[in-house]
């Protein structure tokens, strides 16, 4: 039985909810770097690692992991409070793939050897992970992926290409979906491999996005030798594990935080542009406000389910669709009232709070990543409404 001592010795589940909330809030306010609140872009490891190490040192890096594996072991209701406080203060998202994806994957499906080797290195910040899922011809249709791994003695030989790999240049490990059986149905020939990014044959090329930011990468695999012991779970069953991991992502993408953040900036911009009192603007603003409030109510419905320990169904896609499209409508309105500032590269007047163009561009991929909204609507119509084929 694997046992990793948690750094946080106190069982925070014993605290009353409000006391816990205050405890988390005070610690964040005392420890989060003030200049990194609500960063306009996804931060790189160099900028982010002081915060990652603070969390690691405190033992708060992995709130959802069981204490046995060095996590905080928070009950669902406490995890939600923890997330709310992180979002409230505008803390940057860390390089968190190890925390939210690899950790839960290994805890559920890893061998004791894999758990013992990898989990402590995520907890310490020694291993930073990236996610090798999408490929040039396998985006929305992820199961069509073709990067292949062929067994050769005690190694897999990996060949192929991944794309949209977030912050791959910062990562020293990659969890990879590969095809291990070309003859099976497309969902049934996929496996999970853990790959050291220092292995010969791996090339990482940053992609500059519409924010002029190198958040994504292409990752090329040319005869990369991966020890067979780095396969997670059962060969050819990787798709089911990958799907189970996405349930976290679906509620995360439906959180009102992006829309709420943009909404506060919309008001600041309207005041600066002198349209705050304008009746037409107020009409639009009121609609957006109520949409945001109803999003919060609907989010609350799903959060309550998690709080009760239920697993979320496919209907959580409703949140992703509405949240991301609301985020876009808010930023559309910002651009509309910004006048000629709508063409500026940098925030207005050097004020990061007056950044209509930055938010407008950031809102674009929200309806694409995590399963495009068109795919989400397919999921809703088939799995929730039961519409045919």
Of these, 301, 310, 313, 351, which contacts other proteins (CB under 8 A)? 301
Nearest distance from residue 319's CB to other proteins, in Å? 9
Give every CB contact of residue 112 below 8 A, 6+ residues apart in sequence.
1, 2
- Provide the CA 268 distance to its chain's centre, in angstroms: 28
Q: Does 29 bind other proteins (CB under 8 A)?
A: no
Of these, 293, 310, 346, 349, which contacts other proteins (CB under 8 A)? 293
Name the residue nearer to other proteins (CB basis): 24 or 295: 295
Cβ distance 319 to 326 under 8 Å?
A: no
6-42 residues labelled b (16+ CB within 10 A) or e (exposed): bbbeeebeebeeeebbebbbeebeeebeeeeeeeeeb
Exactly one of 8, 249, 325, 336 is catalytic; name it. Answer: 249
Nearest distance from residue 281's CB to other proteins, in Å? 12
CB-based burial of residue 142 (10 Å sphere; 0-12 exposed, 13-18 middle, 19+ buried)? buried
Name the residue nearer to other proteins (CB basis): 11 or 374: 374
Name the residue nearer to other proteins (CB basis): 188 or 315: 315
Q: Does 143 bind other proteins (CB under 8 A)?
A: no
Name the residue nearer to other proteins (CB basis): 342 or 387: 387
> Strand, helix or coil at 74?
coil
Whose CA is closest to 188, among 135, 133, 140, 241? Answer: 241
Name the residue nearer to other proteins (CB basis): 37 or 243: 37
Nearest distance from residue 77's CB to other proteins, in Å? 11
Of these, 126, 271, 294, 349, which contacts other proteins (CB under 8 A)? 294
Q: Does 75 bind other proteins (CB under 8 A)?
A: no
Name the residue nearer to other proteins (CB basis): 274 or 300: 300
Nearest distance from residue 374's CB to other proteins, in Å? 7
Q: Does 322 bind other proteins (CB under 8 A)?
A: yes
Cα-Cα-Cα-Cα dihedral sign, residues 181, 182, 187, 193: positive
End-to-end CA distance of the chain, in Å? 45
Q: Does 289 bind other proteins (CB under 8 A)?
A: yes
Name the residue nearer to other proteins (CB basis): 171 or 275: 275
> Strand, helix or coil at 62?
coil
Q: Does 26 bind other proteins (CB under 8 A)?
A: no
Give the DSSP H/E element, type plus range, for residue 216.
strand 216-227
Q: Does 168 bind other proteins (CB under 8 A)?
A: no
Nearest distance from residue 278's CB to other proteins, in Å? 14
Question: Looking at 2-10, 117-125, 188-196, 381-389, which segment touches other proteins (CB under 8 A)?
Answer: 381-389
DSSP assignment of 255-301 equals -THHHHHHHHHHHHHHHHHT-TT-HHHHHHHHHHHHHHHHHHHHHHH
Whose CA is closest to 346, among 358, 336, 334, 335? Answer: 358
Nearest distance from residue 386's CB to other proteins, in Å? 7
Whether 249 is a known active-site residue: answer: yes
Dihedrals phi, psi of 145, to nearest 5 degrees: -60, 150
Nearest distance from residue 255's CB to other proteins, in Å? 15
Q: Does 351 bind other proteins (CB under 8 A)?
A: no
Cβ distance 221 to 147 under 8 Å?
A: yes
Of these, 108, 222, 267, 339, which contacts other proteins (CB under 8 A)? 267
Cβ distance 105 to 176 under 8 Å?
A: no
Q: How far apart are CA 229 and CA 213, in angstroms?
A: 36
Q: Does 350 bind other proteins (CB under 8 A)?
A: no
The residues annotated with a catalytic role in the active site are: 249
Applying CB under 8 A, the residues found at the interface with other proteins are 263-264, 267, 282, 285-287, 289-290, 293-295, 297-298, 300-301, 315, 318, 321-322, 374, 376-378, 380-382, 384-389
């Amino acid at each position: 039985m694997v046992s990793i001592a948690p750094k946080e010795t106190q069982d925070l589940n014993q605290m009353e909810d409000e006391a816990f909330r205050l405890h988390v809030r005070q610690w964040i306010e005392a420890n989060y770097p003030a200049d990194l609140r609500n960063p306009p872009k996804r931060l790189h490891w160099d900028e982010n690692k002081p915060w990652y190490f603070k969390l690691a040192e405190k033992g708060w890096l992995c709130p959802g992991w069981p204490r046995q594996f060095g996590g905080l072991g928070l009950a669902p209701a406490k995890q939600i409070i923890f997330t709310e406080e992180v979002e409230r203060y505008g803390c940057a998202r860390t390089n968190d793939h190890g925390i939210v994806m690899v950790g839960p994957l290994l805890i559920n499906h890893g061998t004791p050897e894999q758990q013992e080797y990898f989990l402590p290195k995520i907890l310490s910040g020694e291993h930073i992970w990236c996610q090798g899922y999408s490929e040039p011809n396998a985006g929305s249709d992820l199961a069509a992926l073709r990067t292949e791994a062929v067994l050769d003695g005690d190694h897999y030989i990996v060949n192929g290409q991944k794309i949209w790999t977030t912050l791959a240049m910062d990562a020293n490990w990659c969890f990879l979906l590969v095809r291990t059986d070309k003859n099976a149905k497309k969902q049934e020939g996929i496996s999970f491999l853990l790959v050291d990014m220092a292995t010969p044959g791996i090339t990482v090329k940053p992609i500059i996005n519409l924010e002029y930011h190198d958040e994504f990468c292409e990752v090329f695999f040319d005869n990369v030798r991966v020890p067979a012991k780095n396969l997670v779970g059962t060969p050819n069953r990787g798709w089911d594990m990958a799907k189970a991991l996405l349930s976290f992502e679906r509620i995360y993408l439906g959180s009102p935080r992006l829309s709420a953040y943009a909404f506060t900036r919309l008001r600041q911009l309207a005041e600066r542009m002198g349209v705050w009192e304008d009746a037409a603007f107020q009409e639009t603003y009121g609609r957006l406000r109520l949409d945001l409030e109803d999003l919060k109510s609907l989010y609350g419905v799903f959060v309550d389910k998690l709080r009760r320990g239920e697993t979320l169904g496919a209907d959580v896609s409703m949140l992703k669709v509405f949240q991301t499209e609301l985020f876009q409508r808010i930023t559309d309105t910002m651009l509309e009232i910004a006048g000629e500032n709508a063409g500026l590269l940098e925030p207005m007047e050097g004020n990061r709070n007056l950044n209509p163009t930055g938010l407008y561009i950031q809102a674009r991929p929200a309806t694409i990543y995590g399963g495009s909204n068109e795919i989400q609507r397919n999921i809703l119509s088939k799995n929730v409404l039961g519409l045919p084929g």
